[in-house]
A and B are shown apart, each in its own frame.
Chain A
């Protein structure tokens, strides 16, 4: 595998493909963050699927698999889908999610029908048209990469230029509107940037999975940071690593399309982030368990203290059973006692009798009233 990787990076064609995947990664990570922050993840999915009929129609019209017309076709049909969604939701009782679901399946279905038709055309040129479904990075040539780079650069420039305005649009569009920024214009700009990212990813990742390339890196990045700038940069990094790894995987393993390979990589990162980031599932569980242990320890400390006070001797020793009764809660006090012993707050007087040490007495006194430590 390592040998294969070195070979891959030294080869000219491979370098082309890798740089294509990397540029795509940077752009989709950055742009995808906006889709996620605006809670428009599904719109990306609809647009990428809806690009298919445009791609195939462009091919049928031109008779060749030419990059630019295919891009134009993809953009037009993706935008048409969004336009129809807005039209339907504004003029009927159909809700946005239903309208999006309908648009996605109708456009994608139409795309598949057209694709089947195009593949039956007597021309040999249609070969590889189906690669737009799941992507095939190996087919990237220098010209494709150049287009990815130019469109990507334009998108990144737009984001950099309108950074503060886009932030307003995502966080509080009404407030932004009152300050004189045209939210409609900004909305159009963001949509344009998202469509561009989708279009340049079509050949590498394919229409079916392109939206994951936008969403998953941003979701993963969000788990690790609470700063929008860091989030966008981290998302770009995650998408780039996944893009390059996916391309290498798909080239190394026969017959694996690039899209699925890339998406498996990015999903793994997203999955890991959701589970193990500072606010992740397991991290929170862990923190929860730790604080519960702390509270139990406090209960035991307090119980010992209260019991000892009844004897007018804070250092009076008691049996474990009595301590368990005194702490008033049903749990195994032995573990808490051992922990307290480690901390030097209690000592074992033998025969399972325990008493507070001097520092334990001080600590227990701090706990009254006990509610404070909960």
Chain B
């Protein structure tokens, strides 16, 4: 194995020169990120920083002006099956007439391909994923009857059914209860311990150091990315959030030391 190949296997997601624009507005500007395999990475930045767009453009959901996305060294289009996606909870209509288990089963549609219907095996897989997120007893429930936290667990279960090795999550902790947040973090950490890679859009700066090993700090352009203890500092946060930054990691650690 030569050096270049080694490098390829070490990186799960590599984003090079990514630029995205909606109309005249530049949403992402020349982003370069390298997400090593088997790490848990948070994406932070102010509202409108393009965090969701980044997650979406990695998966080709929004057209890019420029840039290359590779998953384990190969273009995303060839690696779809390696990536599972947990969209923002609010992006779908939870009044849709379907049950919890049928929603989770959607995660298996990719493996099934066109036309083939899910069967016994897919049902079992969906139930297994529901058990993992602690929602097995809700399998036959209407999704309209779920609380915010339960909705998020269902979405996570659907992603688990995809049995991929790279997980992209868009604000998985948005509006969920504390128990759900802990449960989701635990599952994600288990995934990472098993060699999977997790990339999540994150809002709460207070929990960044607790949840993630690495962090991507951005605001349209990339501010910095790397290990939390190296790049998650007030200098970078002020760069990303401007004068409005109200969280200073250093002060917090001082407070802790006292």
Contact = CB atoms under 8 A, between A and B. Distances in A.
Nearest to A226: B142
Interface in B64-112: 80, 83-85, 87, 91-93, 96-99, 103, 106, 109-110, 112
Contacts of B158: 175
Contact of B98 (A163, A174, A177, A227): A227
B118 A164 contact: yes
B115 interface: yes
Contacts of A181: 109-110, 114
A167 interface: yes
Contacts of A227: 97-99
A147 interface: no
Nearest to A222: B97
- Of all A-B residue pairs in the complex, the 7 with the closest CB atoms, nearest first, are A179-B110, A226-B142, A178-B85, A178-B59, A228-B97, A226-B97, A172-B92
B35 to A, nearest CB: 17
A167 B61 CA distance: 18
A124 interface: no
Interface string A157-201: 000011111011011101111111100000000000000000000
B80 to A, nearest CB: 5
B56 A171 contact: no
B144 to A, nearest CB: 7
Given A174-B91, A178-B61, 12 more contacts: A37-B96, A164-B118, A170-B96, A171-B96, A172-B91, A174-B85, A174-B87, A175-B85, A177-B60, A178-B84, A178-B110, A226-B98
Contacts of A180: 80, 110
A231 interface: yes
Contacts of A348: none
B117 interface: yes
Interface string A87-103: 00000000000000000
A175 B97 contact: no
14 contacts: A162-B114, A162-B115, A163-B117, A164-B112, A164-B115, A167-B98, A168-B109, A170-B96, A175-B106, A176-B106, A180-B80, A225-B97, A226-B97, A226-B142
A77 B239 CA distance: 54
Interface in A257-306: none
Listed residue (A164, A176, A178, A180) with the most chain B CB atoms within 10 angstroms of its CB: A178
A230 B87 CA distance: 27
A171 B110 contact: no
Contact of A168 (B80, B83, B106): B106
Nearest to A172: B92
A165 B56 CA distance: 20
A51 B56 CA distance: 37
Contacts of A168: 106, 109
Nearest to A179: B110
A161 B114 CA distance: 9
Listed residue (A161, A174, A179, A225) with the most chain B CB atoms within 10 angstroms of its CB: A179
A77 to B, nearest CB: 30
B114 A226 contact: no
Contacts of B98: 167, 171, 226-228
B209 to A, nearest CB: 30
Given A175-B87, A178-B83, A227-B97, A161 B109 contact: no
Nearest to A176: B109
B22 to A, nearest CB: 12
Contacts of A228: 96-98
B115 to A, nearest CB: 6
Interface string A5-44: 0000000000000000000000000000000010100000
B184 to A, nearest CB: 18
B92 to A, nearest CB: 5
B117 A179 contact: no
B80 A172 contact: no
Nearest to A228: B97
Nearest to B159: A175
B61 A161 contact: no
Nearest to A170: B96
Contacts of B84: 178
Nearest to A185: B114
Contacts of A167: 98, 106
A227 to B, nearest CB: 6
B109 A178 contact: no
B93 A171 contact: yes
